[in-house]
């Protein structure tokens, strides 16, 4: 069974993170498949809407730390932007179709920052959303250094980045990060209903509306700047200590 599953129904391309035993933590191979699906959403005229969801009890635990360290340490700075994760991020920035997300359980790191590229987000009331980049001695990604403050304001965005503490679905709704907060059992059905409504709207009108609301070139420029900061920090002594502490389930000790 594939760790990224896709299904096109009535104009809605559903992309499912299907690694529930690992809380849908994302590997570079999964990023490659996510990039292909997101690029398809833009180029396939049969796709009207892109819908992301997770299998199991979590949306995504973020990057698979072991896989990410191995892939990142193998790529020199000049080639870091050629990693599959950046192909996916570029596809997100360029995507002109409406994007919907159905979020349950944990949404960590990219599991949260992905939502900033979605046009409609349905979250479980008890979902837990977090961006613990500083906890891992890393830096923000996916243009979240631009988009998260734009949605939440500087102070709330900085709190999520710097303290890394999760907020629940109800708080995410109050803060404007999601469109709906519903009981967990209703998340997928609500998101599918909204996606189908979008699929029935005038497609060119939707694409032009989205294009007017987003600057894809600026988003990609920010993603590249973040990528350099993320990559250099990932190879830093701080990050190595944070990763060791994470795997050893202890608090890191920074000099």
When pLDDT is cut at 50, 70 and 90, the band that residue 36 belongs to is very high
Q: What pLDDT does residue 243 have?
A: 86
Cα separations in angstroms, 193 against 102, 111, 123, 163, 247: 11, 22, 14, 35, 40
pLDDT tops 60 at residue 97: yes
CATH of region 4-184, choose from 3.90.226.10, 3.90.550.10, 3.90.320.10, 3.30.540.10: 3.90.226.10
Q: What pLDDT does residue 215 have?
A: 96
How do beta strands 180-182 and 120-124 pair?
Answer: parallel
Q: What pLDDT does residue 75 have?
A: 54
If one counts every other C-beta atom within 10 angstroms of the C-beta of residue 97, the result is: 24
Residues 49-84: tens digit of each pLDDT: 999 999 999 999 999 988 867 765 555 554 667 789
Of 34-38, 75-79, 138-142, give the lowest mean pLDDT range. Answer: 75-79
**C-alpha span between 6 and 34 (Å, rounded):** 9
Q: What are φ and ψ of residue 5, in 5° steps?
A: -110, 145
pLDDT tops 60 at residue 124: yes
Of 32-46, 70-84, 117-131, give the lowest mean pLDDT range. Answer: 70-84
Average pLDDT, the chain: 94
Of 32-36, 121-125, 135-139, 229-233, give the lowest mean pLDDT range. Answer: 229-233
**C-alpha span between 67 and 230 (Å, rounded):** 15
Q: What pLDDT does residue 18 have?
A: 98
Q: What pLDDT does residue 221 have?
A: 97
Every domain of the chain and the residues it spans? 4-184
User: Does residue 175 contact residue 152 with C-beta atoms inside 8 Å?
Assistant: yes
Exposure of 151 by Cβ count < 10 A (0-12 exposed, 13-18 middle, 19+ buried)? Answer: middle
**C-alpha span between 99 and 95 (Å, rounded):** 8
């Amino acid at each position: 069974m594939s760790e990224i599953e896709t299904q096109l129904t009535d104009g809605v391309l559903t992309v499912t993170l299907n690694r529930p035993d690992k809380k849908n933590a994302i590997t570079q191979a999964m990023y490659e498949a996510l990039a292909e699906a997101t690029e398809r959403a833009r180029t396939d005229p049969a796709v009207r809407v892109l819908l992301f969801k997770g299998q199991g009890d979590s949306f995504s635990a973020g990057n698979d730390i072991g896989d990410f360290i191995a892939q990142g340490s193998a790529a020199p700075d000049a080639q870091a932007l050629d990693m599959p994760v950046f192909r996916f991020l570029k596809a997100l920035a360029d995507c002109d179709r409406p994007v919907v997300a159905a979020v349950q359980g944990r949404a960590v790191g990219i599991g949260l920052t992905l939502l900033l590229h979605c046009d409609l987000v349905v979250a479980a009331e008890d979902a837990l959303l977090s961006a613990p980049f500083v906890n891992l001695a890393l830096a923000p990604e996916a243009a979240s250094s631009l988009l998260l403050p734009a949605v939440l304001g500087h102070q709330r965005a900085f709190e999520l980045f710097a303290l890394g503490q999760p907020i629940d679905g109800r708080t995410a709704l109050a803060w404007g990060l999601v469109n709906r907060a519903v009981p967990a059992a209703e998340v997928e059905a609500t998101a599918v209903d909204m996606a189908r409504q979008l699929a029935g709207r005038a497609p060119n009108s939707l694409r032009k509306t989205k294009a007017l609301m987003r600057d894809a070139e600026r988003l990609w420029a920010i993603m590249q700047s973040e990528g350099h900061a993320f990559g250099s920090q990932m190879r830093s002594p701080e990050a190595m200590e944070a990763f060791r502490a994470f795997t050893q389930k202890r608090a890191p000790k920074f000099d």
